[in-house]
Amino acid sequence: MLARTAAALNLITGGRFALGLGAGGYWDAITTMGVPRRGPAEALRALEEAITLIRDLWPRSTAVLLGRSCGWPR
C-alpha cells in the first residue's frame, strides 16, 4: 500500500515526491501499534526487506518477497 501510494503521489506531483524510510527511531509509537521492539541489526534487516519490496512494487503491480520481517503477498 505504501509503495502504491508513493507512486501515485509521485505521478500527481510531477516527480517531486520523495519517500523517506527509517529503521525504527520512534520505538514508543511503533510498539504502541503492536510491533515488537527490534534490535539495531534486526531493524536494519527489516528496512532492507521493506526497500526491496517497495522497489519491486513501484514499477509494477505485482511482486513476491517472503522475508523475515515483511512479505508480499501476505
Position 74 scores a pLDDT of 46
Give the span between the Cα atoms of 33 and 27, in whole angstroms: 10
pTM confidence score = 0.60
In the chain, the number of structural domains is 1
Question: CB of 31 within 8 A of CB of 37?
Answer: yes
* More reliable by pLDDT, 71 or 59: 59
C-alpha neighbours within 13 Å on the C-beta side of residue 50: 16
Task: Domain of residue 42: give its range.
Answer: 2-72
Residue tagged 520505538 (cell numbers) = 27
- Model confidence pLDDT, tens digit, residues 7-65: 788 888 888 888 888 887 778 888 888 888 888 898 898 889 888 877 776 666 555 55
DSSP state of 16: -
Q: Is the bond preceding residue 73 a cis peptide, omega within 30 degrees?
A: yes
